[in-house]
Amino acid sequence: MSKLSQLTTRKQKLERKLFLLEMDIRNFHNEQERQELLSKLEDIKQEINDLIDSI
């Protein structure tokens, strides 16, 4: 398996984990806490995309 293929597979797995985490966060009852967690999640998504773009 090529390096690019390995990275693509890892990216897909991370995206799936982030999606599941986002769904869990959206089920929080505390609105302020939910918004803070969603904001942190978006920051992580952006970092991942930046990392991928740099490769």
Q: What is the pTM of this model?
A: 0.66
**pLDDT, tens digit, for every residue of 7-25?**
888 889 988 998 998 898 8
Counted domains in the chain: 1
**SS3 for 5-49, per residue?**
HHHHHHHHHHHHHHHHHHHHHHCCCCHHHHHHHHHHHHHHHHHHH
**pLDDT, tens digit, for every residue of 44-55?**
889 888 888 887
Parent domain of 31: 3-54
Q: What is the pLDDT of residue 39?
A: 93
Q: Which long-range contacts (CB under 8 A, 24 or more apart) does 4-11 make?
A: 7/52, 7/55, 11/48, 11/52
